[in-house]
Chain A
Amino acid sequence: MNCTKCKTKAVIDLPRHNAAFCQPCFTTYVHDQTAYAIKHARMFGPDDRILVAVSGGKDSLALWNILLKLGYKADALYVDLGIPGYSAKSREKVERFTDTIARPKGATLHTHTVQEEEGAGIKELSNLVHRPTCATCGTIKRYQFNRTAVEQDYDVMATGHNLDDEAARLLGNVLHWQEEYLDKQNPTLPASVEGFAKKVKPLYRLSEREMAAYAVLNKIDYIVEECPMAKGSKMLLYKEALNRLETDSPGTKHRFYFGFLDKQERGAKATQSMADKDRASLHPCAACGQPTTGEICSYCKMMARAKVSK
């Protein structure tokens, strides 16, 4: 199989585009798709300061790499969750990437260690507050990324969510008719109220397989293992189902998610309506000042429960 663009030997085939690419043409394709996403979804400009949420996985490290290659001012935050046998490995991958690629380009890594800041690792915290580990992890990560972005004056926070992440999340929301979550599936979420950072997903046009191939081809050393806490999660099940459909009918994931975005754009201006809804329902948390719909935000409630249970 030869490269669709330059006709040399291909290293990856992309059935959904009816194309195949050699290494240099594939890297160009990934950079072009990301640059198009940033421009099309009005994510950020060349002078904005970006905070990338990194986990040691392929998507977040590849995103940081791409943004630096495209010339953006991108720093990163890593949240060490204290997962035995996993967090130490993922932290090592992030630190190695920082030392060898990011820091030489002038970028900075911020680190938040849950054990030090919250007084317990993620497993212990989720036991104390009687919530699933993934839900506790999500609350802590969202809170700490937003807090760092706001406190350190970043213009925007970027996550490595790819097309598969968004399609699987959409499938889950549609299967359970969680319409209230659909507004939040836009690749650009505005800083709707004081205390909320703007959030963007520059990899939403690229599939999980494409991102893994980009990491392999560009020698980005990432954590290949799945998070041990995620075993049996519904998101993995939805991804597996979508990948079976995609293999038989290439382009399924793209049509599903982009069809949704098109409908959303044609209907009420989603981003705008979400900003309006946020302004109407959010106010500062009485404990920490970050935006919340209740009197106390879910992070502060969770930490208060964890302290009582100790």
Chain B
Amino acid sequence: MRVLLSHPERSVEIKGPKKAKDVLRELNLVQEAHLVIRGDELITEDELLKDGDLVEIRPVISGG
């Protein structure tokens, strides 16, 4: 699956299937500081992500 990340903007490939919380763990990101969005949908941490999914991991700290 392709995973889009911010700060700085970049994308990485992660092998599925994997739960959202395991993708966060693999990228060393804490759940409390991020939202996981599949396509246009916000998903919970137990949701299974598959190869072919387009996933955005959005940091919740933004603006200023």
Which residues on A are within 8 Å of B, measured CB to CB?
A: 1, 10-13, 15, 20, 23, 55-60, 90, 164, 207-209, 211-213, 216-217, 222-227, 229-230, 236, 239-240, 243-244, 246-247
Residues of B within 8 Å of A230, CB to CB, are: 64
Q: Does B60 contact A (CB under 8 A)?
A: yes
Q: How far is the CA of A209 from the CA of B58 in the complex (A)?
A: 10
Q: Does B3 contact A (CB under 8 A)?
A: no
Measured CB to CB, the closest approach of chain B to A296, in angstroms, equals: 28
Residues of B within 8 Å of A246, CB to CB, are: 30, 32
Measured CB to CB, the closest approach of chain B to A21, in angstroms, equals: 10
Q: When the two chains form their complex, are residues B60 and A244 in contact, meaning their CB atoms are under 8 A apart?
A: no
Q: When the two chains form their complex, are residues A223 and B35 in contact, meaning their CB atoms are under 8 A apart?
A: no
Report the nearest A residue to B31, measured CB to CB: A247
Report the nearest B residue to A20, measured CB to CB: B44
Residues of A within 8 Å of B37, CB to CB, are: 216
Q: When the two chains form their complex, are residues A213 and B7 in contact, meaning their CB atoms are under 8 A apart?
A: no
Measured CB to CB, the closest approach of chain B to A105, in angstroms, equals: 23
Known: A216-B58, A243-B30. Contact between A12 and B63, CB under 8 A? no
Supply 17 A–B pairs (Cβ within 8 Å), ascending by A.
Answer: A1-B44, A1-B45, A11-B44, A12-B35, A13-B44, A57-B63, A212-B35, A213-B42, A216-B35, A216-B37, A226-B62, A229-B64, A230-B64, A239-B61, A244-B30, A246-B30, A247-B32
Q: How far is the CA of A12 from the CA of B36 in the complex (A)?
A: 9
Residues of B within 8 Å of A23, CB to CB, are: 42
Partner of A223, one of B46, B47, B63: B63
For the complex with contacts A1-B45, A226-B61, 18 further pairs of A-B residues with Cβ separation under 8 Å are A11-B42, A12-B44, A13-B44, A15-B31, A59-B63, A208-B60, A209-B35, A212-B58, A212-B60, A216-B37, A217-B42, A224-B58, A224-B59, A224-B62, A230-B64, A244-B30, A246-B30, A247-B30
Residues of A within 8 Å of B59, CB to CB, are: 224
Q: When the two chains form their complex, are residues A225 and B32 in contact, meaning their CB atoms are under 8 A apart?
A: no
Q: When the two chains form their complex, are residues A226 and B64 in contact, meaning their CB atoms are under 8 A apart?
A: yes
Residues of A within 8 Å of B12, CB to CB, are: none
Residues of A within 8 Å of B45, CB to CB, are: 1, 13
Q: How far is the CA of A211 from the CA of B62 in the complex (A)?
A: 11
Q: Does B41 contact A (CB under 8 A)?
A: yes
Partner of B32, one of A20, A224, A243: A243
Residues of A within 8 Å of B31, CB to CB, are: 15, 247
Q: How far is the CA of A213 from the CA of B44 in the complex (A)?
A: 11
Residues of A within 8 Å of B32, CB to CB, are: 207, 209, 243, 246-247
**Of residues B31, B42, B64, which shows the largest number of chain A Cβ atoms within 10 Å of its Cβ?**
B64
Q: When the two chains form their complex, are residues A209 and B42 in contact, meaning their CB atoms are under 8 A apart?
A: no
Measured CB to CB, the closest approach of chain A to B36, in angstroms, equals: 10
Measured CB to CB, the closest approach of chain A to B3, in angstroms, equals: 16
Partner of A10, one of B7, B34, B44: B44
Q: How far is the CA of A211 from the CA of B34 in the complex (A)?
A: 11
Q: When the two chains form their complex, are residues B7 and A226 in contact, meaning their CB atoms are under 8 A apart?
A: yes
Q: When the two chains form their complex, are residues B63 and A56 in contact, meaning their CB atoms are under 8 A apart?
A: yes
Q: When the two chains form their complex, are residues A222 and B63 in contact, meaning their CB atoms are under 8 A apart?
A: yes
Measured CB to CB, the closest approach of chain A to B41, in angstroms, equals: 7
> Contact flags (1/0) for B16-57 with A, using CB distance below 8 Å?
000000000000001111110100011111110000000000
Report the nearest A residue to B21, measured CB to CB: A13
Report the nearest B residue to A230, measured CB to CB: B64
